[in-house]
Amino acid sequence: MQDLKDIPGIGPKLLQLLEASGFSELEDLRAMSADQILDHLGETNKHHQLTKVLPTQSQIESWLERLPAAETVEAQGVNYESDPDILSMLEYAPIAEPVTGAQLMAGEVKPLDISEPIYLSNVLNEVEIRVGRRTTTPTPHQTVGIQKFESGLIVEDELPTVAPVDISRVKSVKDFQPQGEELEQIQKANEKEAKSRDERVKLLTTTRAETNKGRRPSSRRFIRGVLHPLPGRMYLGALISILGLTFIPLALIAGLALFINDSLGKPSLPEWLLIFPLLLPVFGILWIIVAPGCRCRVCGQKLFLPKNCLKHRNAHKLPLIGYIFPTALHMLSFKWFRCIFCGTPIRLKE
């Protein structure tokens, strides 16, 4: 009998119920009693409804009685004493000397502190073999001593000796620290750097005293807001946006006028009007290159590209024109502006 289905009385449905309950091997049934098995089967069948009739406790007991006895396999040891590597290891291994009880008491060594020896004639697990031949010629940092006793040979390897330390060559950390004028120069440089860093941090939110000297805080000429890190790019983007938005209606009007004039056959308009339609693509290309890099310092939105979304109520706006043109004009005129999207005042001058 090697499987659950070989037990008389266990059909396909009971076999499925047993496997769903975790009893897939004969050993699983041996590990529990009949009432425990019945509880597991009842709990599983309650959730999965695998069978309509559960086995009784007497039936389960009859299953357990018919189970074959568990096979016991004794572990067989391996004799490593005939292994050439083991023999080589034993050949170079030191020979233990017997220790008397008085010596154990003198060294305060407890009997339980002494490990049991390993018998290589009957080993159940693998043996780690470490074989290393000892040198017979001492090196400058190693000495090999050989002592003979009546019971055998003991080979002693002393720990490698380290060359003595020359105290005169040892230096402390203070010897490498700057002293005198060098230390003063470093301190002054650190103070100057700290002061410059504090000024840069202060400039992010506050203008210089001379920037708004003589200006009223309520005036548009009063520069305010967070300092933008790229004022030159913002000025260039504002200028190109203004020129581009100005040239669009001029190019349309000039082109339409020239077309009508040419259709009527009356060359009464000057030819220099062609400059507006011709320069419009140039400003368009410049606007495509520069405008994406002009962003708000706070929210990071692109200021000179149209975007269909809600704008901030404090943003610069002109009726029928929108937000981009008045924002760029305010930027060039007063060197600060309010972001179209977050409304934060951003300044372009320290």
Judging by DSSP bridges, how do beta strands 226-227 and 336-338 pair with one another?
Answer: unpaired
* Band of pLDDT at residue 241, cut at 50, 70 and 90: very high
Specify the number of domains making up the chain.
2
pLDDT of residue 154: 42
Owning domain of residue 57: 1-93
**Segment 4-30 mean pLDDT:** 81
**pLDDT higher for 160 or 153?**
160
* Band of pLDDT at residue 87, cut at 50, 70 and 90: confident
Beta carbons of 320 and 306 less than 8 angstroms apart: no
* Band of pLDDT at residue 162, cut at 50, 70 and 90: low
Residue at which a domain ends, from 74, 93, 112: 93
Q: Is 234 among the domain residues? A: yes
* Band of pLDDT at residue 327, cut at 50, 70 and 90: very high
**Segment 2-21 mean pLDDT:** 80
The whole-model pTM stands at 0.45
Nearest CA to 138 among 153, 160, 162, 154? 160
> Helices (H) and strands (E) in the chain — how many of each?
10, 5
Residues near 110 by beta carbon (within 8 Å), at least 6 away in sequence: 104
* Band of pLDDT at residue 165, cut at 50, 70 and 90: confident
Q: Is 130 among the domain residues? A: no
Q: What is the tens place of the pLDDT at every residue in 22-42?
A: 888 878 878 888 888 888 888
**pLDDT higher for 96 or 252?**
252
* Band of pLDDT at residue 259, cut at 50, 70 and 90: confident
Q: Is 178 among the domain residues? A: no
Judging by DSSP bridges, how do beta strands 144-149 and 152-157 pair with one another?
Answer: antiparallel
Please report where in the chains the tokens 């390993």 appear, as a residue: 118
- Residue ranges with strand state E in the chain: 144-149, 152-157, 226-227, 336-338, 345-347
CA pair distance 55, 78, nearest whole angstrom: 48
Q: Is 181 among the domain residues? A: no
Please report where in the chains the tokens 């402390």 appear, as a residue: 172
Any alpha helices (H) in 265-323, and if so which ranges?
275-290
Residue 173 has pLDDT above 70, yes or no: yes
Q: Is 308 among the domain residues? A: yes
Question: 311 burial class (0-12, 13-18, 19+ CB within 10 angstroms)?
Answer: middle
Residue 301 has pLDDT above 90, yes or no: yes
Residue at which a domain ends, from 40, 59, 93: 93
Residue 1 has pLDDT above 60, yes or no: no
Q: Is 179 among the domain residues? A: no
CA pair distance 260, 164, nearest whole angstrom: 105
Read off the CATH number of the domain in which 64 is found: 1.10.150
* Band of pLDDT at residue 264, cut at 50, 70 and 90: confident
Any alpha helices (H) in 204-323, and if so which ranges?
231-264, 275-290
- Mean pLDDT for the chain overall: 78
Residue at which a domain ends, from 93, 124, 152: 93
Nearest CA to 18 among 46, 35, 38? 38
Coil, strand, or helix at residue 171? coil
CA pair distance 120, 78, nearest whole angstrom: 8
Q: Is 155 among the domain residues? A: no
Q: Is 204 among the domain residues? A: no
Angle ∠(244,249,252) on CA atoms, nearest 5: 115
Dig out the tokens for 5 from the structure: 């289905």
Q: Compute CA distances 265 → 251, 259, 260, 261, 277, whole Å.
A: 21, 10, 9, 6, 20
- Using the CB atoms, write b or e for 90-120: b if 16+ within 10 Å: eeeeeeeeeeeeeeeeeeeeeeeeeeeeeeb
Question: Which residue type sits at 202?
Answer: K
